């Protein structure tokens, strides 16, 4: 395959590559120390979706919006879905929330008290109803459960309770539904989490059945973990359900994806390309999960989408025949050089061409900035309570 | 020296060893995900001090309380100091706060805007006034300033601004005042902090003068950092001003000191003992800085104090002559064994004896539990707003 | 159950608790910078076993010795087994070695070249023959394969080749044989290992069948990994085959077990006790895998065995009824306190009693030191080549 | 300044930017598990210099070679320097070695025994003689001293001994000499190193005087350390003496610089450019320190040089006026975007132009491959012992 062929293939693959945005990225967020408010922040799920739609408007690559329940609860989800359609996007995954109710202080699906576990299961069944009302197919479970102190609860007993709780939720899935189950090494608990690693998430998915898949959040690992290895492994066993993309230098920093280690993002996307998992029917949902604590939210989401696109474009440009041949003959430096050649390519012109082919401005950042949207929402969204992690 | 001599020396040293408690440990705290309220939580600085005094009442080892400004601002600090005295304790270090004002979103003492820097400096001068009103001698500065993204601001320029701002504060110190300057590797910012490590804190202290000292928070280091080495080094150059004690498994978890790695705490306290820095006039302020997100606050502070006491008692029991002799002859296993012998000793009887000598119950946990105080505050403290990180 | 009952149970459980020693711990080891020789180091497998037997002689708790092939290849394994029996110990696990042949520079079981893979498989079949000749039942595979550079080889392809190679070895097992498969996050390769984590090892074991189990080396994880969680999880799914015990502060430091974080070791052993996996027929092989680079080897192994015994004794002393009750009622501090009570107990008297019950000296360190063995081997083992990682 | 101006400035700056190569990179290296030999590896310091000169021949950017004593001891250093000159390079820093003599098992400059300390000091005086014989000005001290076990020796006492030993070496410096003092978090010792961090190295340099500077090895930090912050800080206080460049994913992996995190290397070089420290008289010695365990050594050094050049070129292309302006107005995303624009630029054409301006082939990798040198040395260097870490 020639360079030109690879470039055409990349353009084609990118045309159908969509990234899902989180509704909560448009609300206020912060650290335990402070949440800084921003002008124009949405006050309800409708406004969040309008903001998310701006990202799609200028990138052409963000056609879906994840919801977070109860933050995004509305009386009429049909109306919300219609609003999304009007704005040119649709509802994606439904995220449950079992970390903001006082009952969940010591756990939810793993809690020692059966009453609390039943309540947490019921919340997930409610989320399934939201999925039915919105056409969503993915129930995303990030389990905040864990322990702060050795001895606080029984590590193994909590696994057994978790398995039982998940089974109850799984049993209520419709045939087209999936549970996508996230893992995280720490936070909000600091001795152990109940799903701290991909192995634990996968074991539960395997026990549940084919409609359960693992979610890989790029910020949820121990320092120095090789994430692309996990991507490759989960793809190999057919259980990579979704990404939560973001960046980290230290912990679950939730910075813009690609901002901390763009080379890592490229390597991750290369494993996706290598497994032919970029195509829309691969079963991998490419989602963002980020907090824009100090930067403007809509531009930050645009930047995140373009960062993923750039990493993906580079991954698509890898000369895989040359790579394979160098690997086959044990040419360490040669194989590495093939990969680096693609990484070192400036793909911004390619992406500009992609956008122009879609009838979009070549520079989505400039186009959004010129649109006046930021000023308009800052002016119009007065009164009401800004959305945040509590709503 | 015989075992019995070492035991007597330990008892004597422990009698005058006091740990300072943070007023904010008695208010509500949590993660960015959720702050769980607890019954009986104080509603003002007076009630915080009353709670802190309970810890001293049952341990005899927690005679001071740090304040946090503006959380602990009161109209009449003389009255607050008198209340403390009535409760048997006194006011310790004054902590400034430059992380909860909207102006500080991008920095305080390091902010690019001179107006914001001036405001932050002025806040510290206000803290000096509180020190004058309360008899406090330590101005503790934990600087939340930092960056989330590469390029966001100029790393080096911020150091220059920081040096200038600190100089302005230092110039306003009374002769008996100290600045104690904390460092932290990350949080609330995730690309770099402006004082990320002990080297940076020390450089600023050296530039300021003899009244500036480093604060070592045991939770503020990169994974696998050897903390006792830093303790030894700062003691060696005469610049260890204080500890913020707590425990971590991952990040700045703020768990109870001694709960995650009691052997590390012992090694830290051994360096203190080895440098004869346990005595009250050593210039080292032994403070707690913890968050009791899910556990009861007063009992958690009692446990923290007893954990420090146990580690200290073990450090005092090290047979330093035997240790020195084994080290001198290069007996790796023998030297290690001397240290471990002290660590493996059950010092709870020794501490019971210490307490009985002070006229206290041997078991402070049981004594507090039996006191009925928890029930009383849960009943009496109705109405008003519970204290937390915002107040 | 009373304290006295727990103490009796602990004594009984400890009487049948045996730890397996690695033959290579008695040979020279070091870092890439330098291997420091020690006087009296064994020159062949017979002398290694004699040294290992000393550890058992004074602890009564180290009845088996693992071999490492080809380092411990001898002409007549029947003779070696007889020698072990004469010394009062027996042969334990057989460790394969695919990291010291030039052919394995870029991999062994995962190598791109089928010839190299076949050679590596054949080496394991040779190890099975050693097992048949020695009565060993565990084939321990620590796979050094991995990559130093992104792109160097195909991450996923290597998993497929690994699965195929392992299948060939598994097919050759006798009914009483097990493959025990180790994982390691890094070293000797630095971009990724082919079995970097417990999830990967477990996936291969599950694919192989019931005779494949995971080996957990306590030094093979990313910083801040909660190891006892993994222990609990692997026990829960019935796939914890063995430990390689050692200590680390940073990487795979291979220090004496219990020397870096004795509280962690206690928590690990508590999960073992909690799962009733201490008993000899539990299927968990408790092995040491350490390097005594600068300390004397036999005393270091004795110290390691006593460290494991102390942690285990404490774990056995946990008041599990009280713990369960505190956990059930959500008493965070109370539950933690129950665990800490056991940890803070000085179990050295209990272990002295255990040894005396076995007809041994109460202090194995002193007894070995007094035996004159160290002087004897230093004098007698002159000439020949000291054993090390190359032999 | 226009883009074209920045490009011209970059070309000019790069023309005088030289990277120093380590002689030992051309010898065999490996891990504690295995050193794999390679064909054509040098057998003496003369051949090492010839190989290093190849790197300069094709990059025009590697004019100096560091030596390692005693590995590079020769009878006649004048002859070695003349050989270097003949090959178009010259001798750079002299590295001492206090980690391969049996006397140094428990330390060298910090050893408890004054005799061993004196021996280690004498070795450094010998290195000063080599500097006088070769015209070298930098005495590089990487101190392998440290402890494996708590209690093994006195942490603080070792600092005092270190200060005294260094003072003796410093006193013997000629006016044009410098001590450049490296730090490292761990390895070859695993409990603590005696110079584990930049703060410790700097404290010793400050105590010694103006001819002592810090060496920053990019692989010698705890996980998640922000290295460019340290670079900026050391430049700010005028004490950054040199880099040891290499890459790491986990520990001191010693991979090719720029291969693990090219964005980090760019950020480091940006701080250099920002401080105007790229110019030859800045006092910063840009050195490589790497191990090519599995890849060909000369091509790996060429790749490393070009990786540093690419990162530097990008750093030089940053639009600093635009960056400063965005930083000044608190435009987080805008400032980050200015930095990323430079990083995302493909600078390979710029570097090809640089080389052509120097009369070199545009692609040094291809030019070296075409030269036949690799085949020649593989054929000619038969017999003799290949150089490695022991020689």
Does D220 lie at the interface with C, CB-CB under 8 angstroms? no
Does A224 lie at the interface with B, CB-CB under 8 angstroms? no
Note whether A199 contacts C198, CB cutoff 8 Å. yes
D interface test, pick of C27, C28, C33, C184 with most D CB neighbours within 10 Å: C33
Note whether D295 contacts C148, CB cutoff 8 Å. yes
Mean pLDDT of chain B: 97
Q: Which residues face D30 on adjacent strands? A: D35
Q: Above 70 in pLDDT, residue D360?
A: yes
Task: Quick: pLDDT tens for B4-26.
Answer: 999 999 999 999 999 999 999 99
Task: Quick: pLDDT tens for A256-303.
Answer: 999 999 999 999 999 999 999 999 999 999 999 999 999 999 999 999
What is the 8-class DSSP label of residue D255? Answer: B
Note whether B156 contacts D223, CB cutoff 8 Å. no
pLDDT > 70: what percent of chain C? 99
C interface test, pick of D32, D188, D300 with most C CB neighbours within 10 Å: D32
For residue D223, give the nearest of C29, C223, C253 by CB distance.
C223
Mean pLDDT of chain D: 97
For residue C255, give the nearest of D148, D188, D255 by CB distance.
D148
Question: Residue B70: its pLDDT value, please?
Answer: 94
Strands D192-193 and D146-147: antiparallel
Note whether D196 contacts B226, CB cutoff 8 Å. yes
**ipTM of predicted complex:** 0.97
Integer Cα distance of B370 and C146 in angstroms:
59
Question: Residue B302: its pLDDT value, please?
Answer: 98
pTM assigned to the model: 0.98
Helix runs in chain C, H state only: 3-15, 45-59, 77-87, 114-134, 155-171, 198-208, 227-236, 262-274, 297-317, 320-328, 332-343, 348-357, 364-371, 373-380
Q: Above 70 in pLDDT, residue C40?
A: yes
Confidence of residue D389 (pLDDT cuts 50, 70, 90): confident
Q: Above 60 in pLDDT, residue D391?
A: no
Contacting partners of chain A (3+ CB pairs under 8 A): B, C, D
Q: Which residue of C has its CA nearest to D292?
A: C148
Q: How many CB atoms lie within 10 A of CB C128?
A: 19
Mean pLDDT of chain A: 97
Residue B65, φ and ψ in degrees, nearest 5: -130, 125
A interface test, pick of D36, D222, D263 with most A CB neighbours within 10 Å: D263
Q: How many CB atoms lie within 10 A of CB A197?
A: 26
pLDDT > 70: what percent of chain B? 99
Question: Residue A114: its pLDDT value, please?
Answer: 98
For residue A152, give the nearest of C154, C192, C332 by CB distance.
C332
Integer Cα distance of B300 and D323 in angstroms:
48
Q: Above 90 in pLDDT, residue C27?
A: yes
Question: Residue A346: its pLDDT value, please?
Answer: 98
For residue A43, give the 3-state DSSP assignment: coil
Q: Above 90 in pLDDT, residue D1?
A: no
Question: Residue B391: its pLDDT value, please?
Answer: 55
CA distance A296 to chain C (A): 33
Q: Above 90 in pLDDT, residue D390?
A: no
Q: Which two tokens stand for residue B165?
A: 């701002």
Q: Which residue of A has its CA nearest to B32?
A: A32
Averaged pLDDT for residues C277-294: 96
Any idea how long chain C is? Answer: 391
Q: Which residue of A has its CA nearest to D342?
A: A346
Residue D64, φ and ψ in degrees, nearest 5: -130, 155
Q: Above 80 in pLDDT, residue D178?
A: yes
Question: Chain D residues with CB inside 8 Å of B163's CB?
Answer: none
Confidence of residue C19 (pLDDT cuts 50, 70, 90): very high
Superfamily of domain A3-380: Divalent-metal-dependent TIM barrel enzymes (3.20.20.150)
C interface test, pick of A151, A159, A199 with most C CB neighbours within 10 Å: A151
Q: Is the Cα dihedral D130, D132, D137, D142 positive or negative?
A: positive
Query: Which H or E element spans position D302?
Result: helix D297-317
For residue C224, give the nearest of B223, B299, B343 by CB distance.
B223
**8 Å CB contact between D32 and D61:** no
Does A333 lie at the interface with D, CB-CB under 8 angstroms? yes
Helix D227-236 with D198-208: angle, nearest 10 deg: 10
Query: Which H or E element spans position A192?
Result: strand A192-193
Question: Chain C residues with CB inside 8 Å of B261's CB?
Answer: 261, 263-264
CA distance B197 to chain A (A): 14
What is the 8-class DSSP label of residue B216? Answer: E
CA distance A96 to chain C (A): 24
CA distance D42 to chain B (A): 38
Residue A212, φ and ψ in degrees, nearest 5: -115, 130
Contacts 24+ apart (CB under 8 A), B299-302: B299/B365, B299/B368, B299/B369, B299/B374, B299/C333, B300/B25, B300/B256, B300/C333, B301/B21, B301/B25, B301/B26, B301/B52, B301/B55, B301/B62, B302/B55, B302/B58, B302/B59, B302/B364, B302/B365, B302/B368
Does C295 lie at the interface with D, CB-CB under 8 angstroms? yes
Q: Is the Cα dihedral D195, D201, D203, D206 positive or negative?
A: positive
Q: Above 60 in pLDDT, residue A391?
A: no
Question: Residue C391: its pLDDT value, please?
Answer: 54
Question: Chain C residues with CB inside 8 Å of D223's CB?
Answer: 223
Q: Which residue of C has its CA nearest to D104?
A: C36
Task: Quick: pLDDT tens for B354-384.
Answer: 999 999 999 999 999 999 999 999 999 998 9
Question: Residue C389: its pLDDT value, please?
Answer: 86
CA distance C168 to chain A (A): 20
Question: Residue C119: its pLDDT value, please?
Answer: 98
Q: Above 60 in pLDDT, residue C163?
A: yes
Distances (CA, A) of C26 to B207, C39, C53, C54, D80: 52, 11, 11, 11, 43
Integer Cα distance of D330 and D326 in angstroms:
6
Does A299 lie at the interface with D, CB-CB under 8 angstroms? yes
Does C115 lie at the interface with A, CB-CB under 8 angstroms? no
Q: Which two tokens stand for residue B67?
A: 């304040």
Instruction: Give B 351-370 residues with CB within 8 A of chain D.
Output: none
Does A256 lie at the interface with B, CB-CB under 8 angstroms? yes
* Interface contacts A/C by beta carbons within 8 Å: 147
Question: Residue A1: its pLDDT value, please?
Answer: 85
Q: Which residue of A has its CA nearest to D294?
A: A332
For residue D330, give the nearest of B106, B200, B237 by CB distance.
B106
Question: Please, what's the b/e burial string for D245-282 (b: 16 or more CB within 10 A of its CB; e: otherwise)?
Answer: bbbbbbbbbbbbbbbbbbbbbbbbbbbbbbbebbeeee
For residue D182, give the 3-state DSSP assignment: strand
Q: Which residue of C has its CA nearest to D36?
A: C102
Note whether A102 contacts B36, CB cutoff 8 Å. yes
């Amino acid at each position: 395959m020639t360079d030109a062929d690879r470039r055409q293939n990349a353009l084609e693959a990118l045309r159908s590559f969509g990234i899902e945005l989180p509704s909560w990225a448009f609300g206020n967020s912060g650290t335990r120390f402070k949440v800084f408010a921003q002008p124009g922040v949405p006050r309800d799920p409708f406004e969040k979706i309008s903001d998310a739609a701006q990202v799609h408007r200028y990138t052409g690559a963000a056609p879906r919006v994840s919801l977070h329940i109860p933050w995004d609860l509305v009386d009429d989800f049909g109306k919300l879905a219609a609003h999304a359609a009007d704005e040119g996007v649709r509802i994606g995954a439904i995220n449950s929330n079992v970390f903001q109710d006082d009952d969940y202080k010591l756990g939810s699906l793993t809690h020692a008290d059966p009453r609390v576990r039943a309540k947490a299961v019921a919340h997930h069944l409610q989320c399934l109803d939201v999925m039915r009302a919105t056409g969503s197919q993915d129930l995303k479970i990030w389990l905040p459960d864990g322990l702060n102190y050795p001895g606080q609860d029984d590590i193994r007993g909590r696994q057994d309770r978790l398995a039982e709780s998940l089974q109850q939720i799984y049993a209520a899935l419709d045939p087209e539904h999936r549970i996508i189950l996230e893992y995280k090494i720490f936070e909000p608990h600091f001795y152990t989490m109940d799903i701290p690693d991909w192995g634990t998430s996968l074991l539960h998915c395997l026990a549940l059945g084919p409609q359960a898949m693992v979610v890989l959040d790029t910020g949820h690992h121990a320092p120095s973990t090789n994430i692309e290895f996990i991507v490759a492994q989960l793809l190999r066993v057919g259980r990579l359900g979704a990404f939560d993309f973001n960046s980290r230098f230290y912990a679950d920093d939730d910075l813009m994806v690609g901002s901390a280690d763009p080379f890592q993002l490229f390597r991750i996307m290369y494993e996706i390309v290598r497994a032919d998992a970029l195509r829309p029917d691969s079963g991998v949902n490419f989602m963002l999960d980020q907090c824009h604590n100090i930067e403007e939210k809509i531009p930050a989401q645009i930047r995140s989408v373009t960062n993923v696109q750039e990493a993906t474009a580079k991954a698509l440009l890898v000369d895989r025949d040359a790579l394979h041949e160098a690997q086959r003959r044990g040419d360490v430096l040669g194989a590495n050089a093939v990969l680096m050649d693609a990484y070192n390519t400036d793909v911004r012109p390619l992406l500009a061409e992609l956008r122009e082919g879609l009838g979009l401005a070549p520079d989505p950042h400039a186009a959004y900035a010129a649109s006046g949207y930021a000023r308009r929402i800052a002016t119009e969204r007065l009164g009401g309570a800004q959305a945040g992690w509590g709503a």
